[in-house]
A and B are shown apart, each in its own frame.
Chain A
Amino acid sequence: MEDLVAEKHVKYILSVEKKKDDFESLVLEHLRMNGAYWGLTTLDLLHKLGAVDPDEVISWMMECYHQDCRGFGGNIGHDPHLLYTLSAVQVLALFDRLDVLDIEKVSDYVAGLQNGDGSFSGDIWGETDTRFSYCAICCLSILHRLDKIDVEKAVNYIVSCKNLDGGFGSIPGGESHAGQIFCCVGALAITGSLHHVDRDLLGWWLCERQCKDGGLNGRPEKLTDVCYSWWVLSSLIMIDRVHWIDKDKLTRFILNCQDRENGGISDRPDNAVDVFHTYFGVAGLSLMEYPGLKSLDPAYALPVDVVNRIFFGKQRAPSLLAS
């Protein structure tokens, strides 16, 4: 089997800094906060977080923070949004610098986005999606402020998005989709509500995502894509059914999506790489215990040692799969 060209991926991520004038890059300006999370978490998984200066990152991040409403934008000068607030909190957790936050105010911002039916909006404009349920719950959990929301209502809303195939969609009745499933299962895991999941039924749906090329798709009859190595795999791990897929074949698929010359991972073999797929490919390999990588927590999408630090100082491993 081909190897993971870890050094090349580190160089690729760090080189995004020095990227030439490129249209592809400029359209990502507004989601730089997500990009930072993907890039930095990948570096940490590859044991290279030390290549980045935390103070530089944090000073930029705090310029994305809105003093009035206390959320984070995707970049300096951008409006606050739940997606970027979660990424910011995750990055601060990576650096063990959550102390720079006014935790009460940030968690009030997040909690304020919960709607009457328990769902969450992404921002003041009201777009509702189970992705945002996950962002809010994950963020508040990291900040130890889950008590600021109505957890029961939040859980009930997520359960209302459960379909008869055991999967979850973005809204009630929405088609089951691996990305939405990760968000719902992750949120249920964090709130200790996994008993709402039919693990065998969902586990089967998830393992049916593996296709002949060894990769995973997100819905029946769709193409395989490296990012599903994260969403499907983390969901399977959270419900303790990951042994139902063929790990060797998936590993081979991910490794075939690498750009072995320039580093980075793409959605499928021989396509252009990006930081998003680089993160999900490395994350998927980590979940399958590929040698040389840090362990990744499937619910928080952060390295296990970071999650340990958040919840237990450095004392013992949390039992995140307790149902």
Chain B
Amino acid sequence: MSSSDDDDERIPFIQRPEWSDVRPVPQDDGPHPIVPIAYHDDFRETMDYFRAVYLADERSRRALDLTTEAIGMNPANYTVWHFRRLVLEALNVDLHEERDFIDEIAVRNSKNYQIWHHRRWVAEKLGPQAADKELEFTMMILALDAKNYHAWSHRQWVLQSLGGWEKELDYCCKLLEDDIFNNSAWNQRYFVITRSPLLGGLQAMRDSEVSYTVEAILANPQNESPWRYLRGLYKGDTDLLVSDNQVSDVCLKVLKTNHNYIFALSLLLDLLCYGFQPSHELKRVVQFLGKTETDSSDANLATTICSILETVDPMRSNYWAWRKNNLPSQVC
């Protein structure tokens, strides 16, 4: 329940002279409510008055204020939002004010679909001049919850529809400095380097991005995101992935630490399946792990990797067993 200072001072609608001409309409739960809901009096009264203006289609200033109160009590009620938009259009309200209103309520309701959708509707109407404010807004929400899916969707829409790409890569860098495990930030990074009209595209960015990603991997090899990001940089081009030494090198480096090497092994396994020819050093390191982790000894590197993974990642042992049984013939 929102705990605004006004709660104690709320005057019931029945006592407000400006509403004396309206007869409130109670909720009709049907003759036999199947999932009936009990109500607080304040909420009940507010919604009864809302229903009255909604049914009368009264698109007035007081109706707008009423939707503000109703939203304050239950911001997920999508019908109230619909009606609010109709009223805003009818009254031709300055949408900058509306944007300020959303700023106020969004923080407490940052996972609410209706608020984000309403925000987008307002931003669309305000046009490209709104871009900066929208990026600021999402940044504010992400400062509270850096993985908020709605905020990221909105931010991506803003960039593509209204612009503002200039500082986006820097923003991703900052978020990843705050939390290198933030998968949303990694996803956004990929979004920027592949779609920003200001950067050169994936090809041009690849080398610098590989360096960045390798550093992130080495700092925390158990971090799933940079491993996936690394693969993404080669965009399905397995020959390129196999031939770039930086990829196999990072696997080797992690394996040599003898710690948090599951993702390294899994990438190495994929490289082998794509035709990668491992160095003697790589083979040695893996065989050593094989001896320490498993009972079996196997000359085949890929099979050894699968056996190790079955042991050290038992939750997914069926997956690793399947991989073992489905190695390409040239690897067996």
Contact = CB atoms under 8 A, between A and B. Distances in A.
Partners in one complex: yes
Interface of A: 16-17, 19-23, 25-32, 35-36, 39, 52-53, 56-57, 59-60, 63, 73-74, 76-79, 81, 123, 125-127, 163-165, 169-171, 173-177, 203-204, 207-208, 210, 212, 219-222, 243-246, 249
B144 interface: no
A204 B319 contact: yes
Interface of B: 1, 27-40, 43, 47, 51, 54-55, 74, 76-79, 82, 85, 113, 117, 120-121, 147, 149, 152-153, 156-157, 181-184, 187-188, 190-191, 194-195, 223-225, 228, 231-232, 235-236, 314-319, 322
B37 A32 contact: yes
B28 A63 contact: yes
B225 A30 contact: no
24 contacts: A16-B35, A17-B33, A20-B38, A23-B40, A26-B74, A36-B34, A56-B34, A59-B32, A60-B31, A60-B34, A63-B28, A74-B79, A76-B27, A77-B51, A79-B82, A81-B78, A163-B187, A164-B232, A171-B157, A204-B319, A220-B181, A220-B224, A221-B183, A246-B314
- Please indicate which of the listed interface residues A22, A35, A73, A244 has the most CB atoms of chain B within 10 Å of its own CB: A244
A221 B38 CA distance: 38
A28 B121 contact: no
Contacts of B78: 30, 74, 78-79, 81
Contacts of A177: 149
A30 B74 CA distance: 10
Given A60-B33, A164-B236, A26 B38 contact: yes
Contacts of B184: 175, 219
Contacts of A208: 224, 316
A175 B153 CA distance: 8
Contacts of A28: 37
A207 B33 contact: no
A61 B32 CA distance: 11
A30 B77 contact: yes
A243 B318 contact: yes
Nearest to B83: A79
A48 to B, nearest CB: 14
A219 B37 contact: no
B183 A30 contact: no
A29 B318 contact: no
A173 B31 contact: no
Contacts of A81: 78
Contacts of B183: 175, 219-222
B120 A59 contact: no
B117 A39 contact: no
Contacts of A165: 228, 231-232
Q: Give the dominant DSSP class at A's interface.
A: loop
Given A74-B78, A175-B184, A210-B315, A60 B153 contact: no
Contacts of B39: 21, 26
A185 to B, nearest CB: 18
Contacts, number: 162
Which of B51, B55, B184, B194 neighbours the largest number of chain A CB atoms within 10 Å of its CB?
A: B184
Nearest to B117: A127
Main secondary structure of the interface of B (DSSP, over half): helix
Contacts of A221: 181-183, 223-225
Nearest to A241: B319
A29 B30 contact: no
Contact of A219 (B74, B147, B314, B317): B147
Contacts of A164: 190, 228, 231-232, 235-236
Contacts of A243: 318, 322
Contacts of B188: 175
B183 to A, nearest CB: 4
Most chain B CB within 10 A, of A57, A163, A164, is at: A164
A211 to B, nearest CB: 8
Contacts of B51: 77
Contacts of A63: 28, 30
A173 B186 CA distance: 12
A173 B195 contact: yes
Contacts of B27: 29, 76-77
Nearest to B262: A208
Contacts of A17: 33-36
Contacts of A207: 316, 319
Contacts of A222: 147, 183
B66 to A, nearest CB: 15
Nearest to A35: B35
Contact of A77 (B79, B181, B223, B232): B79
A173 B37 contact: no
A23 B1 contact: yes
A243 B195 CA distance: 37
Given A174-B153, A221-B183, A222-B147, 19 more contacts: A17-B33, A26-B74, A29-B37, A30-B76, A30-B78, A32-B35, A59-B31, A60-B31, A78-B79, A126-B121, A164-B231, A175-B184, A176-B187, A220-B181, A221-B181, A222-B183, A243-B322, A245-B315, A249-B315
A164 B238 CA distance: 13
A76 to B, nearest CB: 5
Contacts of B149: 170, 175, 177
